[in-house]
Amino acid sequence: MPLFPSEAKKIHYNFMILQKQKAAKNEVMEKFREVRNMIRTYSKDFIAK
Protein backbone atom coordinates (compact mmCIF):
# COMPACT_ATOMS: atom_id res chain seq x y z
CA MET A 1 0.00 0.00 0.00
CA PRO A 2 1.48 3.37 -0.96
CA LEU A 3 2.17 5.89 1.76
CA PHE A 4 0.96 9.46 1.27
CA PRO A 5 2.13 11.52 4.24
CA SER A 6 -0.37 14.20 5.10
CA GLU A 7 -2.54 15.62 7.82
CA ALA A 8 -5.67 14.34 6.07
CA LYS A 9 -8.17 12.36 8.11
CA LYS A 10 -8.64 8.89 6.65
CA ILE A 11 -12.17 7.51 6.64
CA HIS A 12 -13.20 4.00 5.75
CA TYR A 13 -16.72 2.67 5.23
CA ASN A 14 -17.59 -0.89 4.22
CA PHE A 15 -20.16 -1.33 1.50
CA MET A 16 -21.60 -4.66 0.46
CA ILE A 17 -19.18 -6.64 -1.67
CA LEU A 18 -20.61 -7.79 -4.96
CA GLN A 19 -19.10 -11.12 -5.87
CA LYS A 20 -19.69 -13.09 -9.01
CA GLN A 21 -22.58 -15.34 -8.23
CA LYS A 22 -24.81 -17.51 -10.34
CA ALA A 23 -27.93 -15.42 -10.32
CA ALA A 24 -30.35 -14.02 -12.83
CA LYS A 25 -29.12 -10.90 -14.61
CA ASN A 26 -31.93 -8.80 -13.13
CA GLU A 27 -30.97 -9.95 -9.59
CA VAL A 28 -27.33 -8.99 -10.15
CA MET A 29 -28.34 -5.59 -11.52
CA GLU A 30 -30.62 -5.00 -8.54
CA LYS A 31 -27.71 -5.63 -6.14
CA PHE A 32 -25.49 -3.22 -8.10
CA ARG A 33 -28.21 -0.59 -7.89
CA GLU A 34 -28.62 -1.22 -4.16
CA VAL A 35 -24.91 -0.66 -3.53
CA ARG A 36 -24.89 2.37 -5.84
CA ASN A 37 -27.73 3.88 -3.81
CA MET A 38 -25.93 3.12 -0.54
CA ILE A 39 -22.83 4.94 -1.83
CA ARG A 40 -24.95 7.87 -3.03
CA THR A 41 -26.71 8.19 0.34
CA TYR A 42 -23.45 7.88 2.29
CA SER A 43 -21.79 10.52 0.11
CA LYS A 44 -24.66 12.99 0.47
CA ASP A 45 -24.74 12.51 4.25
CA PHE A 46 -20.97 12.88 4.47
CA ILE A 47 -20.99 16.14 2.52
CA ALA A 48 -23.91 17.50 4.56
CA LYS A 49 -21.98 16.97 7.78
Residue 37 Cα distances to 6, 33, 48, angstroms: 31, 6, 16
Confidence of residue 21 (pLDDT cuts 50, 70, 90): low
Instruction: Give Cα 49 to chain centroid, integer Å.
Output: 18
- pLDDT, position 20: 64
- pLDDT, position 7: 84
The domain limits of the chain are 14-49
Distance CA 28, CA 33 (A): 9
